[in-house]
Structure 1
Amino acid sequence: MLTRLKISGFKNLVNVDVRFGPFTCIAGVNGVGKSNLFDAIMFLSALADKPLLDAAKSVRDEEGRTSDIRSLFHRFGNEFDKEMSLEAEMIVPQSGIDDLGQDAEASITSLRYLVRIGHKIENGQKSGGLELLEEALTPISLGDASKSFLFPHKAKTWRASAVKGRRSGAPFISTEGEGKERIIKLHKDGGGGGRPRSILAANLPRTVLSTTNADESPTALMAKREMQSWRLLQLEPAALRKPDDISAPTKLGADGSHLAAALYHLSKMKQHDSELADEEAATCVYAQVANRLADLIDDVKEITVDYDEKRESLTAMVTGRDGTPHSARSLSDGTLRFLALTILELDTEASGLICLEEPENGIHPERIPAMLNLLQDIAMDTEEPVGQDNPLRQVIINTHSPVVVAQIPGDSLLMAESIEMNQSGKRYRAVRFSPMADTWRQKKDSSEIRVVSKGKVLSYLNPVTSEQQLYGNLNTTGGRICLPSLK
């Protein structure tokens, strides 16, 4: 779980400091920088998994994937910043496995990760390369947890189950020295037992975090696993409609691929976890999905996965109330999106951070409240302990729709707005993420925070009066989204 993110020097994110809860909606006009925040999160995720240059090239620019890595750095005029920094506070899973299948257990699950990356010119190339300037992984003590994790939660149930372990304060990864003598150290988990592994930073092609294993530093490995689990969902109708081979991956892809395989896998998980017969377990899972989907869409009676033994293929099927079966190929974009998110909600193995841009796209306006409720249900319940029925899962969405904003609880809403800044006499515009007044971000954060009213957000997005009337009278400080009566 990503609880706080500080960014400076990445695109138009300068001196940004954002706190997240289990569910967050970022509202702002197109082009203000909402997507850049998602790009920064995905860049951090890629840095935990790939070499520096590959991570940079995986980030989107205006034309798709990044071809000139300078475009990742903040730009004012014709000049680019020479470095960027990203710092994440997070709660990581307590246990997992490394790339060799070895078990790992974190000594503490509340951590702070910092990475500072510089741009360097190589062999006269215009785009240049990247250099690791600083990397650090430090514990957030249990005593400081209440100061760090400010979103509403139950300390005796949720926090006690999510934030575990202890550490003397010694880092897991640290940086020493300057220039060509800069050294990055990977420390043993024992807090002093054994010499740290020291690596010269100048020639490092990737972060030290991305190289960790269970034997050397299990806590750093779990930070790596947490960051690798962060993903940006971009559900594509073509991918959602496609049948799967029986050997296809069993997790829903970021583009919505493997929907049928993921649903089929849920039925197999039920068989494994219960004493039900195969067919009975599958029926139970499909009924769960159908019942959930029926809350969102009227014409749903049954959901199954058709297994073609001859072709060894899997196809998701939805049967309407009139008894007519429809394959995924013939379902609407909105139905497919609802189905994908319903599968994601029921998959207790799917943990981590889910980013989703403009979830209202392709959804009938009458169904937007149901969509938002589903997204909130995908996120963990911070009133209950973390466990199989309440995985450590988080959802961040963005939107420019006043219809969506009007329905988001104030505690879950941030406003992205462009502001003018001055650096060394040079003026430029950057993005700020402001919470609503009288919500937990303002009440519990001791730093100076710019707050806005929900009315200002709606005015900023130029809402249509009829939409306000349709979706008005909604909770603005907390609680669930109220579905209006639509007749």
Structure 2
Amino acid sequence: MLRTLAIENYRSLHNLQLSLGRLTVVTGANGSGKSNLYRALRLLSETVQEGVVHGIAREGGLDSCFWAGPEQSSASVLRGESSVEALRSHNAKRIRMGFAGTDFSYAMSLGLPEPDAGEAENLRTLFGRDPQIKREVIWSGPIFRPAAVLVERKGPAVRMREQRGWRTLTTQLPEFYSLFDTCGSIDCPEVETLRQTVRSWRFYDYFRTDIDAPARQPQLGTRTPILHGSGRDLAAALQTIREIGDPVRLDEAIDDAFKGAIMQVIVRDGLFVLSLRQPGMLRPLLASELSDGTLRYLLLVAALLTPRPPSLMVLNEPENSLHPDLLPALARLIAKVAIHSQVWIVSHSSRLVSALEQSSDCTSIELEKHLGRTRVIGQSGLLSGPVWNWPS
């Protein structure tokens, strides 16, 4: 389980540390930094799975990801008594991200290349704005200590702790690669364990429910333990839950939202078609006929009740298109799922947040923005936030 998330110099997240629970709810006004927090966690995931370069590129490049304000602000600026002024910085610009887990923790630092002036002509490249990973560290336990370091990367060199000394894994790791791209299970089991953990993280941030949405279309059915991010295999995912997952909880989740309704997957011309029979109807409604809210709720049910639970599931604004009366049922389902998987919810809905906060496992975080910086309401000073130390 993740216990702490730390972000520095990424968009509005100038210096933010968050304590996470088994069920974490993040809320706040528009523009407070919820989306940036979601993007930061997703970027950490992509660093392990696809590489940081592609993740940064999708966000417009590293320059657009850097914190745009000053490195430091005086007390008068923070109180609003004087204006923000740009100061010449003598420090290299770095984005730092990390998380503390129950067993292993990880942090990375990335920035732009720093070519040697004397070799600039020989090393000229059109990819000079690609981000480079300068530092990566894996350590044991939730709090960084030099004695707890298991694997560390400085520039192109990666080494791991071995008994009382260190063993070099490579000295030629390209700086646009993460150590997760090269170090495997045989030479470094700690890297492999963390890699598999992060690869299991699951993100759902947008389900189409328009008339041409993939979830409304008949699809060839194959066993689907994990719903695709587009929802295109909804019928197969729900049928998989019924056959090899938890059919009782599936029926309970549907009945909780639509009293007396029965979900069924039918086969037509070899294709799976989702149907929902509701009380008072002479025939079941097919996926193409369901309302946007009903279809979205079924998509969330399929995502949450996966027969292959992830270590972390993140839902970004799941309340979209849902009638307020469906939110308590969704909150009850999320709370049940959080018993087996860590769940992170980003939401605008006060009703959904209030319902989720009824769970004893819920950690509620409300964000606000002050002078461009995202901060946690109620978290002021070093002693009010989680314990976090960046690797030097």
What range is the shorter-chain TM-score in?
Answer: 0.7 to 0.9
Q: Which amino acid aligns with 2:129?
A: G
1:173 is aligned, of 151, 167, 171, to 151
Change (3 A) 1:75 1:319: same
1:130 paired with 2:157, answer no
TM-score, length-normalised on structure 1? 0.64
Check the 8 A contact 2:6/2:16 in 1, yes or no. Answer: yes
Q: Which amino acid aligns with 1:69?
A: L
Shift of 1:21: 0.4
Q: Partner residue of 1:13?
A: 13
Check the 8 A contact 2:43/2:52 in 1, yes or no. Answer: no
* Mapping 1:26-425, distance limit 5 Å: 26-57=26-57, 65-76=58-69, 82-91=93-102, 110-120=103-113, 123=124, 128-140=129-141, 171-176=149-154, 182-187=155-160, 191=163, 195-200=167-172, 203-233=174-204, 234-237=206-209, 238-247=213-222, 249-269=224-244, 288-298=249-259, 300=261, 302-308=262-268, 310=269, 312-322=270-280, 324-380=283-339, 390=340, 393-409=341-357, 412-420=363-371
Change (3 A) 1:184 1:261: farther
Aligned partners of 1:74 and 1:198: how far apart in 2?
32
Q: Which amino acid aligns with 2:106?
A: Y
Cα-to-partner distance string for 1:259-306 (whole Å, 9 max, x where unaligned): 112122234426xxxxxxxxxxxxxx6564233211112351x22222
Aligned partners of 2:14 and 2:292: how far apart in 1?
37
Aligned partners of 1:435 and 1:371: how far apart in 2?
28
Aligned partners of 1:220 and 1:366: how far apart in 2?
45
Q: Which amino acid aligns with 1:403?
A: R
Aligned partners of 1:171 and 1:191: how far apart in 2?
12
**Structure with more relative contact order (C-alpha pairs < 8 Å, separation 6 or more):** 2
Aligned partners of 2:183 and 2:133: how far apart in 1?
16
Change (3 A) 1:249 1:367: closer
Aligned partners of 2:3 and 2:385: how far apart in 1?
19
Aligned partners of 1:251 and 1:450: how far apart in 2?
35
Structure 2 regions of 5+ residues with no counterpart?
71-85, 116-123, 387-392
Shift of 1:402: 3.2
Check the 8 A contact 1:139/1:169 in 2, yes or no. Answer: no
Q: Among the aligned pairs, what percent are the same residue? A: 22
- Quick check: 252-261 or 285-294, which moved more? 285-294
Aligned partners of 1:320 and 1:25: how far apart in 2?
32
Check the 8 A contact 2:11/2:67 in 1, yes or no. Answer: yes
Change (3 A) 1:6 1:361: same
Shift of 1:37: 0.4
Shift of 1:400: 2.9
Check the 8 A contact 2:12/2:67 in 1, yes or no. Answer: yes
Change (3 A) 1:194 1:114: closer
Number of residue pairs matched?
351
Shift of 1:348: 3.6
Check the 8 A contact 1:135/1:174 in 2, yes or no. Answer: yes
Check the 8 A contact 2:225/2:307 in 1, yes or no. Answer: no
Shift of 1:170: 5.3
Shift of 1:16: 0.5
RMSD across aligned C-alpha pairs, in angstroms?
A: 3.2
Change (3 A) 1:250 1:307: farther
1:22 paired with 2:16, answer no
Check the 8 A contact 1:89/1:112 in 2, yes or no. Answer: yes
Check the 8 A contact 2:314/2:344 in 1, yes or no. Answer: yes
Change (3 A) 1:216 1:316: farther
Change (3 A) 1:210 1:12: same
Shift of 1:171: 3.2
Structure 1 regions of 5+ residues with no counterpart?
58-64, 92-109, 149-167, 177-181, 271-284, 381-389, 421-428, 437-441, 452-487
Q: Which amino acid aligns with 1:401?
A: S
Cα-to-partner distance string for 1:242-272 (whole Å, 9 max, x where unaligned): 33223475420223231112122234426xx
- Quick check: 3-12 or 232-241, which moved more? 232-241
Check the 8 A contact 2:5/2:17 in 1, yes or no. Answer: yes
Aligned partners of 2:20 and 2:166: how far apart in 1?
36
Aligned partners of 1:170 and 1:431: how far apart in 2?
30
